[in-house]
Amino acid sequence: MSEQSSAVSGQPSGFSVDRQRRDRNVRIAIIAAMAREVGPLVRRWHAREVTRNGKTYRLFESGDVVVICGGIGAQAARRAAEAVIEEMRPTRVISVGFAGALDSKMKVADVVEPRVVVNAADGSRTDTGSGEGTLVSFGAVAGRNQKDRLARAYSADAADMEAAAVAQAAQARGIEFAALKAISDAADFAMPPTEKFVSSEGKFRTSSFVLHVAVRPWLWGSTIALARNSARASRALCMAIESYLKRESRDLRSCASPVNPPEQSLSGTPSVPSA
């Protein structure tokens, strides 16, 4: 659609009929920090790029579900959430990814669907309306001592860096919010120094990190363990997301009219019929 026809229709420049159709159909937008967190899930999904506020994001789409990988940290997560909300107009956003365990009973690859998400920066809390337990979003990668402090301060089960920022973006638009996090490091795990290899845009500088670790043999064990644990967490997370989407599909079918059932999406989850 041309800029002129957009102005006549009352829609913003660049708005198209296809865009309108996506706006009606997309129910769930999933925000992850890194592609490797959701790799097994989106491997066969349709991929495209979208640019918002000068930043280009990669979107993965399947039926009425879209995944965006926004980067590490609260600011990157907030920007990505706002971008996908503006682009796709979802009815719900879900923050997914890795988290560190604060409870010693939690093991690598356990999945948390928290009822409450706490922002450690200001103490604000978001009730997701489902799940159980508490996830706290902290402004840095939490080591063992910091995990102890977070557990005591918030009675939380796990810690991440992005969920609270995504929750705030959803609340600002009046959109439903949920979170799914897979444990990638146990409460007593000694993290290798990863934080200084995260860029201001939330990208992890893998090559620099590998070079740093390569000449420091005392970091090899924890780095290899973290890589192995992250792979396990990714598989568990993707399975949990698939289960979540199937659960939502069943709920949708139970509410749908038998005369006009919802269409099937590429992911096997039914799409919301167009108005």
Question: What is the chain's mean pLDDT, rounded?
Answer: 84
Q: Find the length of the chain.
A: 275
The whole-number average pLDDT for the span 13-21 is 38
Q: Is the pLDDT of residue 40 over 70?
A: yes
Q: What pLDDT, in 10s, does the model give residues 222-269?
A: 999 999 999 999 999 999 999 999 988 776 666 554 544 444 443 444
**Strand-pair category, 55-62 with 134-137:** unpaired
The tens digit of pLDDT for each residue in 64-107 reads: 999 999 999 999 999 999 999 999 999 999 999 999 999 999 99
> 197: pLDDT confidence band, cut at 50, 70 and 90?
confident
pTM here?
0.79
* Architecture of the domain made up of 22-250: 3-Layer(aba) Sandwich (3.40)
Buried/exposed 86-114: b ≥16 CB within 10 Å, e otherwise: ebbbbebbbbbbbbbbbbeebebbbbbbb
Going from N- to C-terminal start, the domains of the chain cover: 22-250
Q: Cα–Cα distance between 60 and 82 in angstroms, integer?
A: 16
Among 141-145, 171-175, 205-209, which is the least confidently predicted range? 205-209
